[in-house]
Amino acid sequence: MILFFLLNINTINNVMSNPFQDQFLKLGLVDKKQVTKSKKVQHQKKKQKVAKNAAPVVDENALLAQEAQEKKRIRAQELNRQREEKLRKREAMAAVKQIITQNRIEKDKKGLAYHFTDDKKIQRIFVAKEVADQLSKGRLGIVAFAAGYEVVNRAVIEKIESLATGTFVFIAEMTADLDEEDPYAEYQIPDDLMW
Q: What is the pLDDT of residues 53-94, one digit of tens each?
A: 655 556 888 889 999 999 999 999 999 999 999 999 999 889
User: What per-residue confidence (pLDDT) applies to 177?
Assistant: 56
Residue 146 CA from chain centroid, whole number: 30
Query: How deeply is 103 buried, as exposed, middle or buried, from its count of CB atoms within 10 A (0-12, 13-18, 19+)?
Result: middle
User: What is the maximum span of the chain, computed from C-alpha positions, in angstroms?
Assistant: 141
Give me the chain's average pLDDT, please: 79
User: What per-residue confidence (pLDDT) applies to 55?
Assistant: 58
In this prediction, residues 158-177 reach a mean pLDDT of 76
Spatial distance between the Cα atoms of 71 and 89, rounded to a whole number of angstroms:
27
Q: CB neighbours of 32 closer than 8 A, spacing ≥ 6?
A: 25
The pLDDT of residue 33 is above 70: yes
User: What per-residue confidence (pLDDT) applies to 106?
Assistant: 87
φ, ψ of residue 159 to 5 degrees: the values are -65, -40
Spatial distance between the Cα atoms of 136 and 104, rounded to a whole number of angstroms:
17
The pLDDT of residue 185 is above 60: yes
CB–CB of 104/150 below 8 Å? yes
Q: How confident is the model at residue 7 (pLDDT cuts 50, 70, 90)?
A: very low
User: What per-residue confidence (pLDDT) applies to 13?
Assistant: 47
Tell me the whole-structure pTM to 2 decimals: 0.51
Helices and strands, number each (H, E), in the chain: 7, 5
